[in-house]
Amino acid sequence: MKQPSLRSLVFLSAGLLSLGAAQAMAASAPATPSSAAMPPGVEQFVFGTLPDGRTVHGYRISSGGHVDMSVIEYGGIITSLKAPDRHGEKADIVLGFNSLEGYLSPAYKKLNPYFGALIGRYGNRIADGRFTLDGKTYQLATNDGPNHLHGGDEGFNQKLWQATPFSSSEGSGVVMRYTSADGEEGYPGELSVEVKYTLTHDDTLAIDYSARTTKATPVNLTQHSYFNLNGEGSGSILDHVMTIDAASYTPVNKTLIPTGEIETVAGTPFDFTQPTPIGARIEADNEQLTRGKGYDHNFVLAREPRPTPEHAARVTSPQSGRVLDVWTTEPGLQFYSGNFLDGSVTGKSGHAYGHRSGLALETQHFPDSPNQSGFPSTILQPGETLESHTVYRFSTED
């Protein structure tokens, strides 16, 4: 499997746009149908029961390609994604758990890594959990030192989403819906969110986000899967070779809030414009790496969102031959090298998830945008529809 050609990319983008039609059809379908009514390529199962008695369903999705995945209604979490290595041997390449208990356990909540989850309302940090919009100041939870992180005390990662499985000419998947009440976690406006996961026939996971609001509000939606292309639980990702299509990044202060500068990566350990092992410079004497405890930074892909997804990053594993390519319409990419993983939680295959045993590539707007006038705006106005598209493609190389 090679990197997709330009032709297949154009096809992919066109396919993504036509997903809107399937989405409209899915909208009229009943929520959480019984297993008997499942569309081709989707199997429903019970993943667990929340403490308040609500059942959490999961969906196993396969599209006739080489990849299959599972996603659950709690947090919209991708709990499993199996992809073949260069010899055709499949492994689960995302960190996570086999049961709901894993995601609810005190050890997991203490570490709070957001494995595989949908993140909102605001992915990444807002300084001091505060922003001013149309002359009014809003105070959000400060759940990460002095700052607000990933939507607050109970972000979208902990909500029970309503799932509608579907299949279309592109593949099979699930539309996840959640309505966030006006004032939830301190944010203004009722926000209606849809996230569509499509696993296509050619081993692509397309994630299409849309949102509407009743009042002006900041929104920054992302997906928080941790990948290990050698298989989850197999150790560190430092041998993975990374390419990021970004000539600049946003340096941070001591609490990981962008300073507001947009700095060139040239001549720094943040230069991934050429394929470079993640471990090559992660311990370099560099103040930004010290602050992030490794890579935990927003890379600038563009100064504004793009109309169709453009290539953002490529990760390869020399050991397994697995390759992950990322395309997005988003202007930013948070590359997080799993620096806070510390072995305190044990994943689905029984291995503790140690330091840097998974990496996240979070397509997004820049952190703290509501307080940074030089960054692309994250304010959604009533009457507008936020649309954002990200594509993860899995392949192999020799």
Segment contacting ligand BGC by CB under 6 A, of 63-71, 106-114, 196-204, 318-326 = 106-114
Residue from 216, 160, 146, 154 nearest 188 by CA:
216
CB-side neighbour CA atoms (13 Å) of 316: 17
Q: State which residue, 59 or 249, has the beta carbon closest to ligand BGC.
A: 249
Segment contacting ligand BGC by CB under 6 A, of 74-82, 111-119, 212-220, 257-265 = 111-119
Work out whether 330 is an interface residue with ligand BGC (CB under 6 A): no
Displacement of CA 106 from its chain's centroid (Å): 23
Answer yes or no: is 224 a known binding residue: yes
Applying CB under 6 A, the site for ligand BGC has a residue count of: 10
Active-site residue among 148, 224, 240, 297? 224
**311 assigned to active site:** no
Segment contacting ligand BGC by CB under 6 A, of 63-71, 195-203, 334-342, 374-382 = 334-342
Q: State which residue, 59 or 227, has the beta carbon closest to ligand BGC.
A: 227
Segment contacting ligand BGC by CB under 6 A, of 109-117, 154-162, 240-248, 385-393 = 109-117
Shortest CB 296 distance to ligand BGC, Å: 5
Work out whether 337 is an interface residue with ligand BGC (CB under 6 A): no
Work out whether 189 is an interface residue with ligand BGC (CB under 6 A): no
Residue from 319, 330, 339 nearest 226 by CA:
339
Residue from 182, 154, 200, 157 nearest 62 by CA:
200
Segment contacting ligand BGC by CB under 6 A, of 19-27, 85-93, 108-116, 208-216 = 108-116
Question: Phi/psi at 141 (nearest 5 deg)?
Answer: -60, 145
| 398's tokens | 């020799």
User: Site map for ligand BGC, 251-280, x if CB under 6 A?
Assistant: -----x------------------------
Asked if 238 and 277 touch (Cβ cutoff 8 Å), the reply is yes
Cis amide leading into 121 (omega within 30): yes
- How would DSSP label each residue in 348-386? TTS-B--TT--BEEEEESPTTGGG-TTSPP-EEPTT--E
Residue from 184, 266, 221 nearest 388 by CA:
221
Q: Which one among 362, 365, 370, 372 touches ligand BGC, defined by CB under 6 A?
A: 362
Q: Which residues, at least 6 apart from 156, have a Cβ–Cβ distance to it below 8 Å?
A: 75, 76, 117, 118, 119, 120, 121, 178, 180, 193, 221
Where is 21: in which H helix or E strand?
Answer: helix 6-28
Shortest CB 262 distance to ligand BGC, Å: 18
Q: Which residues, at least 6 apart from 358, have a Cβ–Cβ distance to it below 8 Å?
A: 94, 95, 226, 227, 228, 232, 237, 338, 341
Answer yes or no: is 125 a known binding residue: yes
Active-site residue among 194, 232, 330, 362? 362
Q: Which of residues 114-143 bind ligand BGC (CB under 6 A)?
A: 114
Q: State which residue, 336 or 394, has the beta carbon closest to ligand BGC.
A: 336
Answer yes or no: is 240 a known binding residue: no
**57 assigned to active site:** no
Work out whether 151 is an interface residue with ligand BGC (CB under 6 A): no
Shortest CB 366 distance to ligand BGC, Å: 12
Q: Which one among 41, 113, 152, 321 touches ligand BGC, defined by CB under 6 A?
A: 113
CA distance 100 to 117: 13
Work out whether 336 is an interface residue with ligand BGC (CB under 6 A): yes
CA distance 126 to 129: 5
Shortest CB 227 distance to ligand BGC, Å: 13
Asked if 83 and 322 touch (Cβ cutoff 8 Å), the reply is yes
> Helix-strand-coil percent breakdown of the chain, rounded to 5?
15, 40, 45
Active site residues: 224, 362
User: Contact positions toward ligand BGC, by CB under 6 A?
Assistant: 112-114, 256, 296, 334, 336, 340, 360, 362
Q: Indicate the annotated binding residues.
A: 124-125, 224-226, 296
Q: Indicate the annotated binding residues for beta-D-galactose.
A: 124-125, 224-226, 296
